[in-house]
Amino acid sequence: MNDIKLKINTETVLFFDLDGTLIDTDFANFLSFKDAIKSVIGLDKDIDYNPNERFNRSTLKKMFPNFTNIEFEKIIHQKELNYSENLSKTTTISLTTDILTYYAETNMTVLVTNCREERALITLNYHNLKDKFSHIFFRKSADKDFHINKFESALTTLGLSPESVIVFENEAFEIEEAVKAGIPTKNIISIV
């Protein structure tokens, strides 16, 4: 953490991703999908948790290629409803939550997530982190099939210089997106 603190001054803006960066939500997400599949389809197929891969829409499509679009959408909807029941299975990632807590009073802190607003807010509130952010950017429901570079969007909306930002992110694709948005590689902290 001391190496990271050396990069931060009072002008530095801190961008945090949510899932896998601030909070480990993978197991709760998996349980929410598993329960949704069982309740919507009535399928009692044993689905194993893989801690090395986040269960998502793509995983669902690969695992069940014969689901209709209606079944698929019902499962996604039910998964979102189930998530609050599994919040106790989420855990904070101390490196990033400690940094967020330490700098929340002195620096601009921004959540930039592809998580939908409702799920992001209940997760942040559950872990008492919502009030630590100056600004929060979510994935909009209408954006589900349209990719938006979350870093570029936040930089533009807030009128920030990419050089003034330090990013905390866990996904390789999103790290590439931060670089595309002009954030220097040395300012990107990969959380693995």
**Total number of residues shown for the chain:** 192
State residue 142's pLDDT score.
47
Cβ–Cβ under 8 Å, residues 137 and 154 = yes
Task: Please provide residue 160's backbone torsions phi and psi, each rounded to the nearest 5 degrees.
Answer: -100, 150
Would you say 35 and 75 are in contact if contact means Cβ atoms under 8 Å apart?
no
Domain boundaries, position 43 = 26-89
Last residue of a domain, one of 63, 89, 115: 89
Pick from 72, 89, 106: which residue ends a domain? 89
Q: Are 50 and 129 members of one domain?
A: no
Is there a single domain that holds both residue 101 and residue 12? yes
| Same domain? 81 vs 129 | no
How many domains would you assign to the chain? 2
Residues 67 and 116 in one domain: no
Q: Which helix (H) or strand (E) holds 3?
A: helix 2-7
Say whether 119 sits in a helix, a strand or coil: helix
Tell me what pLDDT residue 146 has. Answer: 67
Q: Model-level pTM?
A: 0.89
Work out the burial of residue 39: count CB atoms within 10 Å of its CB; fewer than 13 is exposed, 13-18 middle, 19 or more buried.
Answer: middle
Q: Can you list the residues of the chain whose pLDDT is less than 50?
A: 141-143
Whether 99 and 184 share a structural domain: yes
Do residues 116 and 165 share a domain? yes
**Residues 76 and 18 placed together within one structural domain of the fold:** no
The answer on 97 and 145 residing in a single domain is yes
Q: Of 47, 71, 89, which closes a domain?
A: 89
pLDDT tens digit string along 139-151? 864 445 567 899 9
Residue 130 and residue 63 share a domain: no
- Whether 97 and 12 map to the same domain: the answer is yes
Residue 75 and residue 148 share a domain: no
**What is the four-CA torsion angle of 180, 157, 125, 108, rounded to 10 degrees?**
90
Conformation bin of residue 160: beta by default, left when phi > 0, alpha when psi is -120 to 50:
beta
Which of 181, 135, 160, 171 minimizes the C-alpha distance to 189? 171
